[in-house]
Amino acid sequence: MANYRYQVRASNGQTQSGVIAADSAQTASAILRNQGAHIMSLNVDKSQKSSAANFLAKINSRKAGAKQVLDFTSQLAVMIRAGISLRAALEGIADQTTHPAFKEIIAQLRTDVEGGKSFSEALEKHPKLFGPLYINMVRASEMSGSFSEMLDRIAGYIAQQMETRKMVVGASIYPAIIGCLATCVTVFLLTFVLPKFYSIFEGKEEVLPFATVFLMNLSKFMVAQWPFLVGGIGVLAGLGFAAIKTETGGFWLDRMKLTIPVLKNMFRSLYISRSLQTMGQLINAGVPMLDTLTITGEVTGNRLYKIMWKKVHTSVKQGKKIAAPLQADSLLPKAVVQMISAGEESGKLGEVLDEISTYYAKALKDNIKTVTGMIEPIMILVMGGIVGFIAMAIILPIFKMSQLVS
């Protein structure tokens, strides 16, 4: 986002000048025109700000996220239901929005709507923020005339996805903290505590236990070669992160999530709940089935499930039922496939999918509690075992030598 210095002629004929922040000159022009001003000049403001001001500006202009979209959707639903026009509703929400970047996006939406575009067409200019599910559900509501009800449904979907993401992230915080703590304690013992015993153990390697000799050699190596170790760990971490970003690496990671004994049930519940909730929402909104399957595969969050939904898309395109390709895949339980088949036959597939996704959302919460409850004692035992092993490797030789002296 940049600052633009402008000079305009207001509606009362007076000349005004100032500075406006916008993503581009076109956006700045649109904002000024929406205020009823005639632009006389508009140029990038080249005046330098202090580093502190630049830092604060970057913080304030951070990208909008799901929280801003949820608030916007909820407010828009209430205003539309109250009989306020879409243009006026967008203008009112923009005036109340404190997030600078999102305020600009709402202004662009209002400009596009005033220019004769539909709301879904205006949303298509911001696909990363609103996403295909949001855009397609809005487009379906425009055709069916249930705009406010659809916005409520979209807001509920976003809120559910935010809650699910929050639960999964929360479940991973504790193990990460314990793992970092265990690593820091181990490094501290090997690089700061154990070297103080070198003088005691020096020259007595032949009578020392193997564990003590091993830890002493490891400690000396870490102290002497720590720059190379830190650099090597950094390089390996970077290579690993880069590998995960590739299609092959990402596929391997997604497969591993579904095979780790402690975590597989949690991830499976997450992907099933997310897939079926998305699919149910789109079907109930009246989105065409092929578009629904495409969007479902994109938002599922796992490449294996994405491949599965692509197979379903191909099958449905050929005139087959949804349940037919799912029966040959092990990613969905047989009971779920049977319920989907029953929903297809009865014409209530959307309702069935909503019920299944609700069940798996509850199962996800239970699995997260189970995983957290299992990982906590495991991590404590691992940390205690490492620290205990190092402590015993130090204490046992001292105790043995004291017995020999006595």
Name residues whose C-beta falls within 8 Å of residue 311's C-beta, 6 or more positions apart in sequence.
Answer: 325, 329
Residue among 192, 211, 212, 191 at smallest CA distance from 201: 212
Identity of residue 47? S
pLDDT above 90 as % of the chain: 10
Query: What's the number of CA atoms in the CB half-sphere (13 Å) around residue 358?
Result: 9
Bridge partners (DSSP) of residue 18 are 6
pLDDT at residue 1 in the model = 59
pLDDT at residue 304 in the model = 92
pLDDT at residue 53 in the model = 47
User: CATH for 66-160?
Assistant: 1.20.81.30
pLDDT in tens, 141-173: 887 777 888 888 888 888 888 888 888 887 778
Give the model's confidence band at 308: pLDDT under 50 very low, under 70 low, under 90 confident, else very high.
very high
pLDDT at residue 49 in the model = 46
Name residues whose C-beta falls within 8 Å of residue 70's C-beta, 6 or more positions apart in sequence.
Answer: 155, 158, 159, 162
pLDDT in tens, 62-87: 677 888 989 999 999 888 888 888 88
Give the model's confidence band at 132: pLDDT under 50 very low, under 70 low, under 90 confident, else very high.
confident
Q: Tokens at residue 234, please? A: 């950094």
Please give the model's pTM, rounded to 2 decimal places.
0.70
Residue among 59, 61, 81 at smallest CA distance from 155: 81
How distant is the alpha carbon of residue 10 from its chain centre? 44
User: What's the rounded mean pLDDT across residues 290-319?
Assistant: 90
Identity of residue 110? R
User: What's the rounded mean pLDDT across residues 377-382?
Assistant: 82
- Model confidence at 12: pLDDT above 60: yes
Spatial separation of the C-alpha atoms in residues 396 and 406, rounded to whole Å: 15
Domain boundaries, the chain: 2-60, 66-160, 174-406
46 or 22: whose pLDDT is higher?
22
Q: Hey, which bits of 267-377 come out as E strands?
A: none
**DSSP label of 207:** G
Contact 191, 223 (CB under 8 A): yes
Name residues whose C-beta falls within 8 Å of residue 149's C-beta, 6 or more positions apart in sequence.
Answer: 141
pLDDT at residue 57 in the model = 45
pLDDT in tens, 186-214: 888 888 888 887 777 777 767 777 888 88
329 or 262: whose pLDDT is higher?
329
